[in-house]
Structure 1
């Protein structure tokens, strides 16, 4: 009788473990997780000077976690540490602009919150890291702040260049890019990210997939340069199989630098020297923490990075829509003011949806 009960409980435990394993396998094999690079793309990745021991690496050694509590301790602290004003109590001020009615000859920028923004310049329309549906694998995580979720894929006009800085969920949204697929001319992304997009129905000839220090001529007068940043990548269980990047877009009239996500490093000064007279630099500001200070730009380094780029104007993003770190939600807005007042930088500080002339 006793042996029968033991067998029964053992069988139940095995069955529960099997159900959990099957559920996890099914979950991470949803289309939204994308697909790891394979075939010719993987062979190209293996030839990259930035790919070592089966993964992409940063220019310099970059510890993911820097806390003396260790990775597990730092994660526990992050999960259970309470922060005042992590999310706004009231709706964040926004403007709902009808992008379909924008005159094509106007040079403008519209920020949608976090790291999503639209640029129209010299007759071309550029959409960067659009996340209009979900910023995580599940809808109840990374919920947008009240009032910020006002733009949807259908609000976007036809796009000439879709720019994806890296494949994290808060920058590459499956539902958004699927919805835009038939209205996008070319996709500009880092090496390996194109695998996700092909898996989701984009044509190979649409993809401008670049390694750091590569460039591509897009159209007459338009050239994109793929440049380093200090970050990491991944949508599932395996990290750093696709390249994270910043991009500099040269248009007939301006130079626009899109820094993507990443901590401070020597690349800011190098880019500033290589590309003098940058008209606008778009920098990360938000979702930082001392426990991961090398992979996101800390407030103490924002002014320094901006000065090294020598850009005429600065816009900061990666804030005001999601709470992905434990700082007060409006701390990035104070960082902007400090950059303007203490660092004497020419800052653009729009509200979500505001039309900013370029």
Structure 2
């Protein structure tokens, strides 16, 4: 019979072997559902699009989405060395949303990242709603929130439409879709192919409107136009099987442009000429890097795009909520406000949860400097433990890079 010492040794070996296996099991929990529809399920809904050829969607201008393998090795080193750079040094201030009983003429409430509630001519449109804690198909891997959601998704008032820009996890979130399915009745307006994800998650056909670029739908007195963006799609290994887009919201009196996630493109000028000018633009300013410069705008390019679109007030999105690149946490908005001053562009930068009356925007209030960047403060090494191991960080980076954010 084994001695007590031998039994303890055997149990320790089993625990050592079982620990990583259990962690991998937890990390993969729910993966098939969260990944969304297969290429085969998507294909019938997309094959007729002029943007679709060779089994995938394409941008209208040449757009490299990721650097060559040699450069990716450098990015992995950068991921390790600069993993804290995009973290805030102090808590991000939140505002409890104060939403009127009736939608206003023109207002926007920013909930963080690219999620916002837009009020246009007495109607409400929810864009890229992401209330999940982690933007990933896995409960253990992938970027987590840098601040809580300002309010539960269940506290949203009745919305008239939900717009989705593309299927990356930081823009299309399964838990949020399920909550909206339970608590709202609005249709989901999506670029081609994304409807297959929604159908697989239980969204009824009558609540799904799929559009190609330049496609138009009328909802609750608003005209919603699916417009061009410069990006890519995919929820892990399948790439570009669904379309990506920006959106134009046109009411009887006001117009809004929602950029979603995009690199700079000459198409903005054409959108502005055909469908603008716009009283409000919501444009992405964060997660830029030289390695993926064609699929994410810099803050300066956002100001340029705002001008191309004929924008009035610019409200930045796609920053502050998730650590998706290697720039400092506040850098995007610092660069944006500097570029806006040079170009005499009016900017409003709400705190997460804050509502902006576009017809009477408040003076610009610098709240981000006090938050600061963790990169400017001493850091402790966090290599111990499975959740923060090099393997876990590499997998998290891979999840983020495969979705392009």
- Tell me which residue corresponds to 2:232: 232
Write the mapping of 1:1-358 to structure 2, written as runs, cut at 5 A. Answer: 29-36=31-38, 38=40, 42-66=43-67, 70-82=70-82, 85-99=85-99, 102-107=100-105, 108-133=107-132, 134-140=134-140, 141-145=142-146, 147-182=147-182, 183-220=184-221, 222-358=222-358
What CA RMSD, in Å, does the superposition of the two structures yield over aligned residues? 2.4
Q: In 1, are the aligned partners of 2:259 and 2:282 still within 8 Å (CA)? A: yes
Partner Cα separation in structure 1 for residue 201 and residue 333 of structure 2? 36
Distance 1:26 1:83, change over 3 A: closer
- Give the C-alpha shift of residue 105 in structure 1: 4.2
Partner Cα separation in structure 1 for residue 343 and residue 310 of structure 2? 12
- Give the C-alpha shift of residue 66 in structure 1: 4.1
- Tell me which residue corresponds to 1:4: none
Secondary structure of the corresponding residue to residue 297 of structure 2: coil
Q: In 2, are the aligned partners of 1:104 and 1:120 still within 8 Å (CA)? A: no
Partner Cα separation in structure 1 for residue 198 and residue 144 of structure 2? 24
Partner Cα separation in structure 1 for residue 28 and residue 53 of structure 2? 30
Secondary structure of the corresponding residue to residue 76 of structure 2: helix
Moved more, 152-161 or 72-81: 72-81
Q: In 1, are the aligned partners of 2:104 and 2:123 still within 8 Å (CA)? A: no
Partner Cα separation in structure 1 for residue 261 and residue 168 of structure 2? 10
Taking structure 2 as the reference length, what is the TM-score of the superposition?
A: 0.77
Partner Cα separation in structure 2 for residue 72 and residue 27 of structure 1? 28
Partner Cα separation in structure 1 for residue 239 and residue 336 of structure 2? 32
1:279-320 CA-to-partner distances (Å, cap 9, x unmatched) read 111111001101100010023422221111111111110011
- Give the C-alpha shift of residue 65 in structure 1: 2.5
Partner Cα separation in structure 2 for residue 213 and residue 24 of structure 1? 42
Taking structure 1 as the reference length, what is the TM-score of the superposition?
A: 0.86
Secondary structure of the corresponding residue to residue 199 of structure 2: helix
1:47-103 CA-to-partner distances (Å, cap 9, x unmatched) read 110011100111111111246x7353243234223266421121111101244xx22
- Give the C-alpha shift of residue 144 in structure 1: 1.3
Structure 1 residue ranges, 4+ long, deviating more than 4 angstroms after superposition: 22-29
Partner Cα separation in structure 1 for residue 126 and residue 39 of structure 2? 24
Partner Cα separation in structure 2 for residue 149 and residue 275 of structure 1? 33
Q: In 2, are the aligned partners of 1:148 and 1:352 still within 8 Å (CA)? A: no
- Give the C-alpha shift of residue 340 in structure 1: 2.5
Distance 1:33 1:66, change over 3 A: closer
Partner Cα separation in structure 2 for residue 227 and residue 74 of structure 1? 35
Partner Cα separation in structure 2 for residue 136 and residue 43 of structure 1? 26
- Tell me the matched-pair count: 334
Partner Cα separation in structure 2 for residue 78 and residue 33 of structure 1? 27
Q: In 2, are the aligned partners of 1:74 and 1:291 still within 8 Å (CA)? A: no
Distance 1:239 1:106, change over 3 A: same
Structure 2 regions of 5+ residues with no counterpart?
1-17, 359-405
Q: In 2, are the aligned partners of 1:132 and 1:151 still within 8 Å (CA)? A: no
Secondary structure of the corresponding residue to residue 237 of structure 2: coil
Secondary structure of the corresponding residue to residue 311 of structure 2: coil
Q: In 2, are the aligned partners of 1:306 and 1:314 still within 8 Å (CA)? A: yes
Q: In 1, are the aligned partners of 2:30 and 2:138 still within 8 Å (CA)? A: no
